[in-house]
Amino acid sequence: MRKKEMMAMLLAGGQGSRLGILTMDKAKPAVAFGGKYRIIDFPMSNCVNSGVETVGILTQYQPLTLNQHIGIGVPWDLDTRNGGVATLAPHMREGEVGEWYSGTANAIYQNIDYIDANNPEYVLILSGDHIYKMDYSAMLKYHKEHNCDVTIAVLEVSMEEASRFGIMNADENDKIYEFEEKPEHPKSNLASMGIYIFTWDKLRAALIEDNKIHSDSDFGKHIIPSMLEKSMTLYAYRFKDYWKDVGTIESYWAANMELIKTLPEFNLYEYFWKIYTKSDLQPPMYSGINSDIKTSIVSEGCQVEGTVHHSVLSKNVTIEEGAIVKDSIIMENCHIGKNTIIERCIIDQNTVIGSNVKMGIGENVPNEEKPHIYNTGITVIGNNTIVPDNLEIGKNCVIYGNTKPENYENNKLESGKSVIIMEGAI
């Protein structure tokens, strides 16, 4: 078989638990973003725009939504015989017991046969849950010019933030001599982005060796330190453009809000580096005679009779007359009733909010059940939820399920409270 220059392995199996109710029944990379996209569309589109034609997507947690979105890769022109896209769930190898992916490197180890079948010279390892645009072909050129065994993409962060990341300590030529995982006293500010290019034969040997030692083999904890100990050639590749980890409710909300600025730092409208996605044909967006839309993203199929300010609406959202939506994210197929006010909320898909509801009001009290997730004043409504008429709902609230008026004492849900109909949803 003819050797392929580079293929990608995209790690997309994470739960994304810090996104709370939004990832109850889907993996983080499958969460909607920017009106018409899902988070995984960004690394997938980067692959296509960089000329990477073979992509293995490693799934694990709640993969159904993600698998349906990816399909056979048509939106990204990855429906080809020579390469294309493959979804790779944990499976049983001959002579071994089947097991879940237990670490980032373990996930790649379990798919050595798939990589070997594609016969690449280099393997690009990606995370499926970051928002950015990056030319991986430029990183590969850098990898070859420096005759690297491993090239690690890095961002320069502030020294105050550095302790939150895996930090690469490198010399004046960016050759890495030390890796520190979330150091208390960092020596540099070169933070790993979790994007690696490995020369495949070197990585293959390292994976097999480390699997004998660590059942939870991980790139940051095991593979990278081991390669450094063996004096392999590792270089840092500096990335200086927009990159966002939307791993928390606040960061997810803020990244969406950044898109609707007059001059957004992250531009979705550039023709030369398109972001591709699965996109069904939808009717045009309609705004009624009394509608008022300002500084917002409003997707196809939306019907707006009310007010939408500084918000992101996915496809097929209905905003009835007199309703006001501000500083909020409304995902596809949602319905907002008459005279309802929504402020600083995230509403997941297929949800119905009744009439005369006031949501996102009151004091910023952290959520009683999950204060580490819901604490920045954003109220979150899970998918397929029904919220009755005539309610007042506070900040940092979580609502999920087919709720009834009797679920709300005195027609109110105080800030920091939750109504969860399905056990274990939050």
Radius of gyration of the chain (CA): 23
The pLDDT score that the predictor gives to residue 62 is: 73
CA distance 422 to 402: 9
Tokens of 362: 């009151």
Per residue in 150-173, pLDDT (tens digit) is 999 999 999 988 988 899 999 999
Is the pLDDT reported for residue 82 higher than 70? no
Q: Which comes out higher in pLDDT, residue 245 or 77? A: 245
The pLDDT score that the predictor gives to residue 426 is: 47
The pLDDT score that the predictor gives to residue 55 is: 92
Backbone angles phi, psi at 165, to 5 degrees: -120, 165
The pLDDT score that the predictor gives to residue 98 is: 56
Per residue in 15-31, pLDDT (tens digit) is 668 899 998 888 888 89
Per residue in 337-359, pLDDT (tens digit) is 999 999 999 999 999 999 999 99
Is the pLDDT reported for residue 96 higher than 60? no
Q: What is the mean pLDDT of the chain?
A: 90
Q: Give the pLDDT band (50/70/90) at residue 257.
A: very high
At position 210, the amino acid (one-letter code) is: D
The pLDDT score that the predictor gives to residue 310 is: 97
Q: What is the DSSP string of 9-43?
A: EEE-----GGGGGGGSSS-GGGSEETTTEETTHHH
Is the pLDDT reported for residue 282 higher than 60? yes
* Averaged pLDDT, 76-88: 75
The pLDDT score that the predictor gives to residue 71 is: 78
The pLDDT score that the predictor gives to residue 9 is: 95
What does each C-alpha distance from 48 to 29, 44, 51, 74, 239 come to in angstroms? 17, 7, 5, 11, 19
At position 84, the amino acid (one-letter code) is: G
CA triplet 329, 338, 296: central angle to 5 degrees?
30
Is the pLDDT reported for residue 97 higher than 60? no
* Averaged pLDDT, 174-195: 92
Per residue in 381-421, pLDDT (tens digit) is 999 999 999 999 999 999 999 999 999 999 999 999 999 99
b/e per residue, 7-16, with b = 16+ CB within 10 A?
bbbbbbbbeb
Tokens of 64: 């159904």
Q: Give the pLDDT band (50/70/90) at residue 14.
A: low
At position 60, the amino acid (one-letter code) is: Q
How many Cα atoms occupy the beta-carbon half-sphere of 224 within 13 Å? 27
Q: Give the pLDDT band (50/70/90) at residue 424.
A: very low
* Averaged pLDDT, 263-275: 83
Could you tell me which residues are beta bridge partners of residue 393? 359, 413
The share of the chain scoring above pLDDT 70, in percent, equals 94
